[in-house]
Amino acid sequence: MPSEVQSAASRLTGVPATSAHPIGGSVYEVRLENGARLIAKRYQQKNDVIAEACGLRWLAEPRAVRIPRVRGHDDGWLVTDFVTPGSPTPAAAEALGRNLAILHAAGAPAFGSPPSGGPEDATIGMARMSNVECDSWPEFYARYRIEPYLRKAVDQGKFDAAEARLLSRVIEGIEALAGPPEPPARLHGDLWSGNVHWGADGRAWLIDPAAHGGHRETDLAMLRLFGCPNLPRIIDAYREHSPLADGWKARVHLHQLFPLLVHTVLFGGTYASQTVSAAQAALAQRSV
């Protein structure tokens, strides 16, 4: 495989590659003859390469958050800049919060819109994900985020009848649960802590997007789901730049339902019970 990786990197950059080694899954670090270090990722489907390449470019357009530059791609490979890793700092976390607010404010054509040039059929991690434009966020989130994965999880036997009914109540009550209407935000879409890469330059870089037009609280809720260094500083800086609508804390569980459902379908285990707990918490907000 290293020779195949080097060949792809050389072809897509126009500079001979001298070495390549795996750093996880189908991701490789590549060195070019001119000394540059790159990341090369292998994909099984052309759509997935296009979705990520277009997502990275779309997120980089507002020049808000740091995004690795796309060096080239074809039907099976994506090559981007390598970002030397560093350690998170409070100042970098605050900068990330402010820059996320600027990114979100750059907007999107509609809720569910794919990045410019990107396909409707995309992925989030190892799962399929549809980006289909809708008139409102509640419609988009219920129809293209919760419903498809709820059906898959039920078919897999991950939820019993009572649990499935509980999750269906979230779909039925989504208009009341969604909070005040907001314009479509430009989202990273898979903003868990593993996709926040703290660089040696003292800044946070965002990688591996599932970019689309959505609700800005979704990215923030994803950061909370699996924890992120200096998260309170990120949120405080974000809110100082762009205040969140009243009740945003109560809606965190609603926005976490989609990634939890994805994990339930892919991995099962305790993710199913976490999904049920999140649905209960989301429904409870109506009485707050």
CA pair distance 263, 259, nearest whole angstrom: 6
Name the catalytic one among 48, 190, 208, 219: 190
CA pair distance 249, 235, nearest whole angstrom: 11
CA distances in angstroms from 28 to 19, 40, 52, 116, 226, listed in the order given: 10, 5, 16, 27, 25
- Is residue 264 within 8 A of residue 279, CB to CB? The reply is no
Active site residue 190: yes
- Reduce the secondary structure of the chain to three states and give it as a string: CHHHHHHHHHHHHCCCEEEEEEEECCEEEEEECCCCEEEEEECCCHHHHHHHHHHHHHHHCCCCCECCCEEEECCCEEEEECCCECCCCHHHHHHHHHHHHHHHHCCCCCECCCCCCCCCEEEECCEEEECCCECCHHHHHHHHHHHHHHHHHHHCCCCCHHHHHHHHHHHHCHHHHCCCCCCCEEECCCCCHHHEEEECCCCEEECCCCCEEECHHHHHHHHHHCCCCCHHHHHHHHHHHCCCCCCCHHHHHHHHHHHHHHHHHHHCCCHHHHHHHHHHHHHHHHHC
Active site residues: 190
